[in-house]
Amino acid sequence: MQANARVLDVDANCAALDAAAKAAAAKGAAVLVTPELFPVGYAPLRLRAEFDPAGLPAIRETLAGIARRHGIGLVYSLPSVTEGGSWHITSTLVDAAGVELLSYAKVHLFGDNERAAFSPAGAGPAVVDFNGFRTSMVICYDVEFPETVRAAALGGAELLLVPTALAHGFETVPQVLLRARALESQLTIAYANHSGTEDGCEFLGGSVIAGPDGSLLATAGPGAELLYAEVEPDAARKARDVVPYLRERRPELYRSWGV
């Protein structure tokens, strides 16, 4: 799902997400990936100043209900607040019954506003079985670091789901870097961005789905749209058999290089 959110208008954003889930399910999609912080809009400083985290459980239940109602898996991204008061950017994968399968908190924060509003997390990406695929998640800037994606791949991931909020001017990220990440770790990456302008930030759009051989399975323009791709269950295995990057790594040597 590539779309323009309304900052702090949860009802409008959830309604847009609900319509997208309905349309995607009607097309036979198994999972809908949505942009970073879409239910609340991407505006880190305003979120920290104006958003009441007491409303998060109700938002999560609304989103789980959307998944249940339309019978589709869903990836959504929201703020979260720890017992110690730290704010994180998170993503969650629920299945078609609305059951939470996987959660992740963003490790690499981008820009002064994110760093002022949120704290970086420290846990690596976990991997779960989802509809026959070993599946993992990272968020936005995380995917630009090869170590993050490689950690998911070494954990067995074949499919990486990435909510993002990428501004205009960074076209090489979806057009070049995402395909390289998919190729070097030999997994499918679905990267869902915002479109339009939110709180003064002009988003690129340009969401992509890249295959484990680096091929471009689908790409979006600058505006709102739903992007579809069909992924073969053995796509990652086939790519890893052709060129065994993961098996032929030499981590003990890399450590001696200081990397």
pLDDT tens, N- to C-terminus, the chain (259 residues): 999 999 999 999 999 999 999 999 999 999 999 999 999 999 999 999 999 999 999 999 999 999 999 999 999 999 999 999 999 999 999 999 999 999 999 999 999 999 999 999 999 999 999 999 999 999 999 999 999 999 999 999 999 999 999 999 999 999 999 999 999 999 999 999 999 999 999 999 999 999 999 999 999 999 999 999 999 999 999 999 999 999 999 999 999 999 8
4 domain residue, yes or no: no
Q: What is the pLDDT at residue 155? A: 98
| Interior angle at CA 186, CA 110 and CA 219, nearest 5 | 60
2 domain residue, yes or no: no
227 domain residue, yes or no: yes
Nearest residue to 161 via CA among 210, 215, 97, 124: 210
Concerning whether 36 is annotated as a catalytic residue, the answer is yes
Residue type at position 39: P
The residue range of the domain holding 194 is 10-257
Nearest residue to 33 via CA among 239, 192, 253: 192
5 domain residue, yes or no: no
CATH code (residue 77): 3.60.110.10
Confidence (pTM): 0.97
3 domain residue, yes or no: no
> What's the number of domains the chain is made of?
1
Concerning whether 140 is annotated as a catalytic residue, the answer is yes
Catalytic option among 14, 140, 144, 198: 140
Concerning whether 27 is annotated as a catalytic residue, the answer is no
1 domain residue, yes or no: no
82 domain residue, yes or no: yes
| Interior angle at CA 198, CA 37 and CA 76, nearest 5 | 15
Catalytic option among 106, 144, 158, 198: 106
CA 251 – CA 9 distance, rounded (Å) = 47
Q: What is the pLDDT at residue 241? A: 96
Structure tokens that stand for 148 in this block: 């993050």
